[in-house]
Chain A
Amino acid sequence: MATEVLMPALSPTMEEGTLAKWLVKEGDTVSSGDIMAEIETDKATMEFEAVDEGIMGKILIAEGTEGVKVNTPIAILVEEGEDADAAASSASAPAESSAPAEAPAPAPETSSAPVPAVASVPAEDPEIPEGTEMKKTTVREALRDAMAEEMRREGAVYLMGEEVAEYQGAYKISQGLLDEFGAKRVIDTPITEHGFAGIAVGSAMGGLKPIVEFMTFNFAMQAMDQIINSAAKTLYMSGGQMGCPIVFRGPNGAAARVAAQHSQDYAAWFMQVPGLKVAMPYSAADAKGLLKSAIRDPNPVIFLENEILYGRSFDVPVMDDFTVPFGKARIWREGTDVTIVSFGIGMTYALQAADKLAEDGISAEVVDLRTLRPMDTDTVIRSVMKTNRCVTVEEGWPQGSVGGYISAVLMQQAFDYLDAPVINCTGKDVPMPYAENLEKLALVTTDEVIAAVKQVTYR
């Protein structure tokens, strides 16, 4: 019986890929475990192994084809003596090719990682002079560029973490850095977060400027003591003598279907700590500009990235030394009826909601906090004085959230300007479930933001 070979999903966030190379040709016998093809994703080139045994009957997708969607038939395996063309027409490869009706969509990530076509054009960014040339850059490249530029600028800056050097980063953020800066400055560590975070903090006290990559921030929990008790508090405890210029960075928050222990947003946790600075960029330009500022900062900085944003492209200014200061929010979209405050990946929901609300005649102003500590509450207050209503958006849990803090600030400093209670749109108050439908429900959604805006605007 003929079997269709389908374009495989090779990572939690893959939706399509390039069929780079066939390693078998029609007529070849393949057995399970044989490498059939090389497939390129945005992160890597992967070898694709055969699961079934058979003879390569027909190659349906030629090598070099780009943008092959996951689950597209790419070849047909036949049995001895079977005719490939005849098989091709009949090969529906029963259970293998079509998911049952209630099955999740083939690329489950699309659901948890909505890639909205954000029509909103950001309002002028005061950091970027008018007429500056812009280059489409992914967040991934922007982060790498920021580290490379700062490492060129200052010899004391080095990068340390799991798989950052030879593997080029678990999420390929440090691609090329080992080549350029060598093993002295791009250092692979064993899996020992508490230990290497402490060593990095000590090296900062000793005059270096470490960038510590946590493979994800979930693993920074192992290192929490060194981050809080050593990095954040030493300047104070030493009466100002002992600084700790260090950046702890890595992906934070939910990726896609990686379940409770790998899907937590720590923004609100770190934001609570005096002595730490906390950045959580949304766009590639902010990722670059803020990371450069973070590396130069004489304080410990928590730099929260997001795996789903890594592959997204934004305009990044082509400038010799583009930095974004901490403590300055950015107004992405001006509006008059409501202020939507967000940061990091929450901005995708905020902007998408603003676009949809515009269709209903509701004008939303969207504020990207960019850094959570220091937090630019002045910009939020000024916006609320104009719109009189506020909705906050984040992926983290509701109790003790960033939005909860903003609500408190608004109540204390802009109470008379509020025409409705502030609503906090957050992730649900549960550990992240794995199941596709439950994960979708656990995350904050654009529809929830829209509903909250309608509620505060009494529509």
Chain B
Amino acid sequence: MATRRSTKKTPAKSNVSKEELLEYYREMLLIRRFEEKAGQLYGMGLIGGFCHLYIGQEAVVVGLEAAAKDGDKRVTSYRDHAHMLACGMDPNGVMAELTGREGGYSRGKGGSMHMFSKEKHFYGGHGIVAAQVPLGAGLAFADKYKGNDNVTFVYFGDGAANQGQVYETYNMAELWDLPVVFVIENNQYAMGTAVKRSTKSPSLWERGAAYGIPGEEVDGMDVMAVKAAGEKAVAHCRAGKGPYILEVMTYRYRGHSMSDPAKYRTREEVQKMREERDAIEHVREILLQGKHATEDDLKGIDKEIKAVVNESAEFAKDSPLPAVDQLYTDIYAAEIPQEA
């Protein structure tokens, strides 16, 4: 069986090339600009309901996607826009789902919290806190059953980490050596509840030890550290050693959803994180200091991304509302689905 505990923190930076670093910069920036635009469209009433932004957490999903190979799966909560962009889903389709239009990934029927892409192995987009955790283990179960070497990334929050079904899943995942990486996105708050107000556990990843699952804490504001930890976790899973837990320490800059007044933390706390730990700024500095890119290069990237995001917003506004007969479709599947 795997080690009971591994050492805390991932010390070594993974070997990241200049090209890779530029790519992460681009992907993180795309997420941030996309989310800012979504916030703006929400304010205009073009997006309704709940809308949970990922701003501040960009390095988590970008770093882990860098450790994934083709065929790997991912599943997450309602805070899902970034996961979709990072696994290569089309920004137009994501934004159009946010506006509830025909061109959206769920043809307007799912909205911000519920999108899926079989092609990109993205299994949602789930609104019930922690429900995705056993689902992710189930995706891994299917891969193991079929005998391939795919790994599933299950993302969930610090708040979700208290749900009972997480621990039922841990137990079975380890018992059956399922190839699943449990990624706890610890952004320090579950809605208005700071982690220390919901548990006395000193850390969340260490709870895996009770089930024999190894894990570690990762600096989620450092995309290279996330990638390195992701590679280690994935190697463990692919080697048939069962699940692995990564508790990725991160921070959300915005409210829980658009309607959260965020009175449970100070403006200074948020400002400090933004100024001192911002993951995008961090990569930007490395790129400039290492002379891997010039200010002009980065401005160019910025411009490209703005164009992509603006296009997605235009697409999302212009795409028609779903046809009314869509109300009664997709309730039952007509045929047994065949694996893509």
A residues whose Cβ falls under 8 Å from a Cβ of B: 6, 8-12, 14, 32-33, 35, 41, 43-47, 49, 51, 70-71, 95-96, 99-100, 102-109, 162-163, 166-167, 170, 188, 190-192, 194-195, 218-219, 221-222, 255-262, 428-431, 433-438, 441-442
Contact = CB atoms under 8 A, between A and B. Distances in A.
Interface stretch (B126-134, B229-237, B284-292): B126-134
* Range for the number of chain B residues in contact with chain A: 35 or more
A160 to B, nearest CB: 14
Among B37, B259, B262, chain A packs the most CB atoms within 10 A around the CB of: B259
A218 B106 CA distance: 21
B317 interface: yes
Nearest to A13: B259
Given A166-B264, A194-B164, A434-B109, A441 B327 contact: yes
A188 B193 contact: yes
B259 A11 contact: yes
Contact of A437 (B36, B110, B324): B324
A261 B50 CA distance: 12
Contacts of B138: none
B293 interface: no
A104 B100 contact: yes
A261 B124 CA distance: 13
Interface in B300-328: 313-314, 317-318, 320-322, 324, 326-328
A103 B162 contact: no
Nearest to B48: A257
Interface stretch (B17-25, B39-47, B65-73): B39-47
Nearest to A112: B48
A438 B43 contact: no
Contact of A434 (B111, B274, B313): B111
B211 interface: no
B215 interface: no
Contact of B130 (A44, A107, A191, A438): A191
B210 interface: no
B261 A47 contact: yes
24 contacts: A8-B43, A9-B43, A9-B44, A10-B259, A12-B48, A12-B50, A33-B274, A47-B261, A47-B262, A51-B39, A51-B40, A100-B317, A100-B318, A106-B44, A191-B159, A191-B162, A191-B190, A195-B164, A429-B331, A433-B322, A434-B108, A436-B48, A436-B321, A438-B327
Contacts of A100: 317-318
A434 B97 CA distance: 9
Which of B43, B49, B163, B254 is packed against the most chain A CB atoms within 10 Å? B49
B130 A46 contact: no
Interface centre among B46, B190, B274, B322 (most CB of A within 10 A): B46
Nearest to A171: B259
A108 B48 contact: yes
Contacts of B162: 190-192
Contact of B327 (A14, A163, A430): A430
A166 B40 contact: no
B162 to A, nearest CB: 4
Contact of A430 (B199, B267, B328): B328
Nearest to B199: A190
Contact of A256 (B49, B130, B193, B274): B49
A100 B106 CA distance: 21
B114 A260 contact: yes
Interface string B162-173: 111000000000
B101 interface: yes
B260 to A, nearest CB: 8
Contacts of B314: 95
Interface of B: 36-37, 39-40, 42-46, 48-50, 97, 99-101, 106, 108-114, 126-130, 159-160, 162-164, 190-193, 197-199, 253-255, 258-264, 267, 274, 313-314, 317-318, 320-322, 324, 326-328, 331
9 closest A-B pairs by beta carbon, nearest first, are: A434-B111, A8-B43, A257-B48, A11-B259, A257-B49, A435-B108, A106-B45, A261-B127, A435-B100
Contacts of A14: 259
A188 B194 CA distance: 11
Contact of B109 (A11, A428, A433): A433
Given A100-B317, A170-B191, A435-B100, A190 B159 contact: yes
A86 B160 CA distance: 52
Contacts of A35: 267
A441 B321 CA distance: 13
A428 B327 contact: yes
B258 A10 contact: yes
Nearest to A40: B261
A219 to B, nearest CB: 7
B163 A167 contact: no
B46 A99 contact: yes
Nearest to B198: A190
B45 A219 contact: no
Contacts of B46: 99, 103-104
Contacts of A430: 327-328, 331
Given A10-B258, A11-B259, 12 more contacts: A9-B258, A14-B259, A47-B262, A71-B44, A104-B46, A104-B48, A166-B193, A170-B191, A259-B49, A259-B109, A436-B48, A438-B324
B45 A104 contact: yes
Given A106-B45, A170-B191, A190-B193, A259 B322 contact: no
B45 A261 contact: no
Contacts of B328: 428, 430
Contacts of A441: 324, 327
B259 A43 contact: yes
A433 B327 contact: yes
A60 B260 CA distance: 25
Nearest to A218: B128
